[in-house]
Amino acid sequence: MKISRSSRSRRAAAAVALGSVLALTATACGDDGSAGGTGAEGDGKGKIVFWDNNGGVRTDVWKEIIADFEKANPDIDVEYVGIASTEYQSKVDTAIQGGGLPDVGGVGAAMLAGFSAQNALEPLDERLDKSALKGMLNKDMVESMKAAGGGDGTLYSIPTSANNGVLYYRTDLFEKAGLDEPNTWEKFYEAAEKLTDAKKNRFGYTIRGGAGSIAQALDAMYGQSGITSFWNGDKTTVNDPKNVAALQKYAGLFKKNTPAADLNNDFTKMVAQWDSGTIGMLNHNLGSYQDHVKALGTEKFRGIPQPVGSAGKRVQVSNPVDGLGLFKSSKNKDAAWKFIEFALSHEENSKFNESAGQVPANTEAASDAWVSKAEPTKLAATALTDGSTTIVQLPYYLPDWNTISKADNEPNFQKVLLGSMTAKEFLDGLAEQLNEAQAEWKQQNG
């Protein structure tokens, strides 16, 4: 089942019409229509509002950072609002159109282009250039944010961390079954089969079928096919025959070597299910490492980079860099920027990433002792720098990317799992949308 070009065009036209009406209304009220106006610098004091884009999961550590900030800046109060990652984009989009944006919010690479295309974010290049943070942030993460911003080379979000994909596996279950570490795709599938005993509710793998499923499926596809670029000229490679075959094999694990409940599992349910103890392997990112430590200790599992393919090369899709953005409508930008600077300081960025198990953006924080002690974080950082891994860069710069890779196609991936849509039909439909979005982007940025 595809979303046709005409239906996407109608949807785009409707969005433009709505935006025009809202813009005219805003202008009539003395607003310039740019996501609540251009805001103001303020006096560097008073109250600011912070929206956490991973509320619940990261609430405790953000509250610690806020407490530290308010102690160091007694004239500034920070109101924390935690929003679930699955709801964050829609809440921000609604606020962009209707008002009520925060001063500061989590803005990861995957949603960056969509927000910047709506003129909602403050450019941060000059602020960073004048900041004590200049030269203290991972250059690759900064460049990833610039590339994801929509094509104009502007920095709209300050990176906080890299959240690389990881294959977690139960070392105790593997040892008991006489299995090798699943560091190749062949060993991965062998383990998924051998560790499954459905009658005893034991499974070799848990697959992500709910929210966030597309990125994980792409990672498995490109990892197996060995294709190293998302584009071949102006056409996407997602529906290359090698990727079709890879997705077909991967989706074939569902209900055979995975629980049936995986069909609707987002990452929180999937992680909780794996931590309960009867599933052999889990694909997630570094963000769930501490959850596994709490549930299993450090002796019963390992987190390793994605398996290597038949050619002996590891291929992974790019995991979005997370960051903090300053919304253009803020009436207290000076205080909001102080909060961003503080959160990215050595001590605070280290505190955040140690809690999350992710790779810090602050280069001094990345050298702290805990990084070497947190094995998955250390291995992920090494895999990204030692030449062993090729990264397929996802097109975060496309304003439609987040919609295409989530709302438009997550239901169709569930159909693939259920067998009511073939892998080829699914990927052909995804490719049509991506090729159209790429053509529109090139026309606008030509």
Which residue's entry shows tokens 């499923």? 213
On the question of pLDDT at 10 being above 50, the answer is no
Is the dihedral angle over the CA atoms 442, 443, 445, 446 positive or is it negative? positive
pTM: 0.78
Considering only 45-49, 71-75, 205-209, 369-373, which range has the smallest mean pLDDT?
A: 369-373
| Range scoring the smallest mean pLDDT among 25-39, 256-270, 306-320 | 25-39
Q: Is 317 helix (H, G, I), strand (E, B) or coil?
A: strand
Whether the pLDDT of residue 94 is over 70: the answer is yes
Residues contacting residue 198 through CB under 8 Å, at least 6 positions apart:
none
CA 148 to CA 157: how far, in whole Å? 10
Predicted confidence at residue 34, as pLDDT, reads 45
> Which residues are CB-neighbours of 16 under 8 A, at least 6 positions away?
none
pLDDT in tens, 116-154: 999 999 999 999 999 999 999 998 889 889 989 987 899
Least confident of 66-75, 283-292, 411-420: 283-292
220, 226 Cβ separation under 8 angstroms:
no
Provide the mean pLDDT of the chain.
Answer: 89
Q: How far is CA 232 from CA 216, 229, 398, 446, in A?
A: 21, 7, 16, 18
pLDDT in tens, 335-372: 999 999 999 999 999 999 999 888 899 999 999 999 88
Share of the chain above pLDDT 90, in %: 70
Q: What average pLDDT does this structure show over 189-196?
A: 98
Q: Which residues pair with 81 in a beta bridge?
A: 51
